[in-house]
Amino acid sequence: VFQLSVPLNFLGSVYRELRQSLLDMETLFNLQKVNVAVKNKADAKPLLLTAGELKFENVTFGYRPDRPILKNLNLTIPAGQKVAIVGPSGCGKSTILRLLFRFYDVQEGRILVDGQDIRDVSIDSLRKAIGVVPQDTPLFNNTIEHNIRYGNLEATDEQVIEASKRARLHDTISHFPDGYGTMVGERGMMISGGEKQRLAVSRLILKDPPLLFFDEATSALDTHTEQALLSQISSILKEKKRTSVFVAHRLRTIYDSDLIIVLKAGSVAESGTHEQLVDRAGLYSELWSAQETLFSDEVEESSKEDTTESLKP
Ligand code: ATP
């Protein structure tokens, strides 16, 4: 019985990990279920990542074919640049990231990574090349340390701590009852939305993927922590010359991007740098003026830290 129970326990834990990582991916993009229609081609090759250029060519896509969300979309995310996608709610910003991750296939047109149609490369190799910081990071029922190390299971303790320092999480963790050994997730300590977001950034720093996506990744942070974390992220991206895509509502968080793409109803309305778009006096400039008024009100409130939830009873 003893001999049997060991492998069964082991299988059980493998199963739980698998289930949890699927859960991770699903929650990552707020999906109800991963689309089963996306499959590897029989002759799928591993993605050959060179510079890291992403391109949408005449892409039309809808979650239901009769309701297109992206309409004949053309855009290029140049290699090594920090690019932001902005636009009104529901215009398809997060959909662009989901398509790049190949959770769905396009109905028309194609998506290229360094010139390769993503339908021709293996899904695994594509997803390995991408790191995502989602709006809401799923946590494993495990320690903080395990949750960070998930980004790279081979990372040393020092690397875990270094990543958490760079993501401005280390000092917070030091105040937790068991430090890095503190249990989080459903059965552990509840951590705040802002702490979760910094944890997701720590994971990403450890994973160190060539392509990085941030989907409203810092929305739960107070203005001060957000600015500090964003400048830290920017310097890492610059230092490593990574291609990154930021989906954001608050233009304050992305105005220093190399390129800003403004979407409207599933097509590109305009694109350029912040200065170019403000000069153009179009949709971006309108959104910017409206938010700047809001922002000056917010700054007065910004001395508040993001609220840390208390320990679960
Ligand atoms: P927001 O800024 O509000 O996050 P967004 O620009 O990122 O919006 P998407 O999340 O890309 O917008 O969604 C675009 C449209 O597609 C929305 O109308 C949304 O309701 C719809 N949509 C998103 N996910 C699904 C889904 N899984 N099934 C059906 N419709 C969906």
Q: Are 215 and 47 in contact (CB under 8 A)?
A: no
pLDDT at 313: 34
Q: Which residue has the tokens 């190399």?
A: 258
Mean pLDDT of the chain: 85
Is the distance from the beta carbon of residue 63 to the nearest atom of ligand 1 less than 6 Å? yes
192 CB burial (10 A radius; 0-12, 13-18, 19+): middle
Is the distance from the beta carbon of residue 135 to the nearest atom of ligand 1 less than 6 Å? no
Report the pLDDT averaged over residues 111-119: 98
- For the CA of 87, the closest atom of ligand 1 is 6
Query: Which residue(s) pair with 213 in the sheet?
Result: 132, 245
How many Cβ atoms sit within 10 Å of the Cβ of residue 186?
10
d(CA 60, CA 120): 18
Tell the residue nearest (CA) to atom 21 of ligand 1.
Answer: 90
Is residue 302 scored above 70 in pLDDT?
no
More confident call, 10 vs 261:
261
How many Cβ atoms sit within 10 Å of the Cβ of residue 302?
14
CA of residue 94 to ligand 1 center, whole Å = 7
List, for residues 18-77, the tens digit of each pLDDT value. 555 554 554 555 444 445 578 999 999 999 999 999 999 999 999 998 999 999 999 999
Q: Which residues, 6+ apart, have CB-to-CB distance to 283 below 8 Å?
A: 87, 262, 264, 269, 270
List, for residues 184-217, the tens digit of each pLDDT value. 987 777 888 889 889 999 999 999 999 999 998 8
Confidence of residue 110 (pLDDT cuts 50, 70, 90): very high
CA of residue 92 to ligand 1 center, whole Å = 6
CA of residue 66 to ligand 1 center, whole Å = 15
CA of residue 33 to ligand 1 center, whole Å = 15
